[in-house]
């Protein structure tokens, strides 16, 4: 796999370089404005953009945002992202109001050496995410016109077989950006020869989303701590009532088999925070997992569980964490996630697996610098650890 360093060594002065970035950041919409609420993914790609611009490239950046239906939707415009991108870069970022149309043609043609442009949301075009190879390929040809070389620095999208990730690299000399290289190097240490004890913490909503990575990691880890909504299906498999908590009833038998095979490696909560409703002002109770009432919703791990998880993490040499322990966006259900985040930060080699976990770190005020690595791609990191082939990585290796 050729990297950004190889491209820079070739020389990019005066050349157009198409960069696939992951600028899929959360936005806050008000009547007055639209603002970026977490700019972590923008900051993560800045070193690659700066390196190309300083070397004299004409830098054309493309990205997706959210899940529009293959047509323009103002709610998912990258315009507010371009504004924040410009602030962080400390230089103007020209914005094209389409992806492969007249505005994109004009904006990219007007770029001088060292200047940066951002195209409108890739997913405003049906060809970007199409499962039809011909439709996807047709869009890729149009997009590839804006580059003489291609750099993929969108680790959060490398698990997608999309035009900008999978098809464009077939059309241009292609290189892995610095962020993608760092992500792959970090995750490879978790699957090759991690220092022990090796502890994995998994949370999030659905156990079905994590079964693949659980099965792949179990032989490699010393302990697997499970919280979040996904824990309730596992607790149900142990015979506990879970009230109105999130439950995947069709996964109970699978979870019974998983628990039987895992033995003591899987550690589940012993207490949970419950409420009758999910709200910022909900009345909460802490109950043992054997005392969840019929109308209770389990919305966070309890303090006893948080202490137990922290104890397991305290002696860990390697930690991977993906998924919050509760609905951390609401203050009554944030304590478990914050306790785990602080414990993970204190471990030896600590990797936060992107997505909601990375958002929680920033939202709960845990120092980002205290972790060894915070991934920008939750789904991509999980699929890598599951042992799946990532289409974007395969394209860069071709």
- Model confidence over 339-388: pLDDT tens digits? 999 999 989 999 998 778 988 998 899 999 999 999 988 889 999 998 89
Spatial distance between the Cα atoms of 282 and 295, rounded to a whole number of angstroms: 14
Residues 230-283: pLDDT tens digits? 999 999 999 999 999 999 999 999 999 999 999 999 999 999 999 999 999 999
The reply to whether 297 belongs to the active site is: no
Which residues are known binding-site members for ATP? 210, 298, 329, 354-357
What are 117's two structure tokens? 């442009």
The reply to whether 323 belongs to the active site is: no
Q: Which is it for strands 223-226 and 34-36: parallel, antiparallel or unpaired?
A: unpaired
pLDDT at 192: 86
pLDDT at 378: 85
Which residues are known binding-site members? 22-24, 41, 64-67, 123, 160, 210, 298, 329, 354-357
Spatial distance between the Cα atoms of 237 and 78, rounded to a whole number of angstroms: 44
Q: Which one of 2, 206, 265, 388 is the catalytic residue?
A: 206
Sign, Cα dihedral of 377, 382, 385, 390: negative
Residues 137-166: pLDDT tens digits? 999 999 999 999 999 999 999 999 999 999
What contacts 9, CB < 8 A, 6 or more positions away?
none
Spatial distance between the Cα atoms of 9 and 16, rounded to a whole number of angstroms: 15
Q: Which one of 15, 16, 20, 41 is the catalytic residue?
A: 41
The reply to whether 362 belongs to the active site is: no
Q: What is the CATH number of domain 4-176?
A: 3.40.50.1260
Which residues are known binding-site members for (2R)-3-phosphoglycerate? 41, 123, 160
- pLDDT category of residue 191 using cuts at 50, 70 and 90: confident
DSSP per-residue string spanning 104-121: HHHHHHTPPTT-EEE-S-
pLDDT at 32: 87
Residues 116-133: pLDDT tens digits? 999 999 999 999 999 999
Give the orientation angle of helix 178-191 with respect to helix 378-386, to 10 degrees. 40
Residues 210-242: pLDDT tens digits? 999 999 999 999 999 999 999 999 999 999 999
What percentage of the chain's residues is helix, strand, coil (to nearest 5)? 45, 15, 40
pLDDT at 383: 92
Contact, 236 vs 256, CB < 8 A? Answer: no
Q: DSSP secondary-structure letter at 265?
A: G
| 27 pLDDT higher than 90 | yes
Contacts of the segment 193-197: beta carbons below 8 A, 24+ positions apart:
194/220, 194/317, 194/318, 194/349, 195/317, 195/318, 195/348, 195/349, 196/222, 196/317, 196/318, 197/222, 197/223, 197/315, 197/316, 197/317, 197/318
Q: Do domains 4-176 and 186-386 have the same CATH topology?
A: yes
Whether residue 172 is preceded by a cis peptide bond, meaning omega within 30 degrees of 0, is no
**Is the model's pTM score more than 0.85?**
yes
pLDDT at 359: 87
pLDDT at 398: 94
Contact, 16 vs 147, CB < 8 A? Answer: yes
DSSP per-residue string spanning 11-43: --TT-EEEEE------EEE-SS-EEES--HHHH
pLDDT at 371: 95
pLDDT at 344: 96
As a residue count, the chain comes to 398
Q: What is the CATH number of domain 186-386?
A: 3.40.50.1260
Average pLDDT over residues 327-331: 95
The reply to whether 41 belongs to the active site is: yes
pLDDT at 119: 98
pLDDT at 355: 79
> Where are the chain's structural domains?
4-176, 186-386
């Amino acid at each position: 796999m050729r990297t950004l360093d190889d491209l820079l060594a070739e020389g990019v002065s005066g050349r157009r370089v198409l960069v696939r970035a992951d600028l899929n950041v959360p936005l806050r919409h008000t009547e007055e404005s639209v603002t970026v609420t977490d700019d972590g993914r923008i900051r993560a790609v800045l070193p690659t953009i700066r390196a190309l611009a300083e070397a004299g490239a004409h830098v054309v950046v493309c990205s997706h945002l959210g899940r529009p239906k293959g047509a323009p939707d103002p709610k998912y415009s990258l315009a507010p992202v371009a504004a924040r991108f410009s602030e962080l870069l400390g230089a103007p970022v020209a914005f094209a109001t389409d992806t492969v149309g007249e505005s994109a043609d004009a904006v990219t043609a007007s770029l001088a050496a060292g200047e940066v442009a951002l195209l409108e949301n890739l997913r405003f075009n049906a060809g970007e995410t199409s499962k039809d190879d011909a439709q996807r390929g047709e869009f890729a040809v149009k997009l590839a016109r804006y580059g003489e070389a291609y750099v993929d620095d969108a680790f959060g999208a490398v698990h997608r077989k999309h035009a900008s990730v999978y098809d464009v690299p077939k059309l241009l000399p292609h290189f892995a950006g610095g962020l993608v290289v760092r992500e792959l190097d970090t995750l490879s240490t978790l699957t090759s020869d991690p220092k022990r004890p090796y502890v994995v913490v998994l949370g999030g909503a659905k156990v079905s989303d994590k079964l693949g990575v659980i099965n792949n990691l179990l032989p490699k880890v010393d302990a697997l701590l499970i919280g979040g909504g996904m824990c309730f299906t596992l607790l149900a498999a142990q015979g506990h009532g879970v009230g109105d908590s999130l439950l995947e009833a069709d996964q109970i038998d699978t979870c019974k088999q998983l628990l039987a095979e895992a033995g003591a490696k899987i550690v589940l909560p012993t207490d949970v925070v419950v409420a009758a409703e999910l709200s910022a002002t909900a009345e909460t109770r802490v109950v043992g997992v054997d005392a969840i009432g019929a109308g209770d919703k389990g919305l966070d791990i309890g303090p006893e569980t948080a202490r137990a998880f922290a104890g397991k993490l305290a002696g860990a040499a390697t930690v991977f964490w993906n998924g919050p322990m509760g609905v951390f966006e609401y203050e009554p259900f944030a304590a478990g996630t914050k306790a785990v985040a602080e414990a993970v930060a204190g471990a030896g080699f600590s990797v936060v697996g992107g997505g909601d976990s990375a958002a929680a770190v920033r939202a709960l005020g845990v120092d980002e610098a205290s972790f060894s690595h915070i991934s920008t791609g939750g789904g991509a990191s999980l699929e890598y650890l599951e042992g799946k082939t990532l289409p974007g990585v395969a394209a860069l290796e071709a």
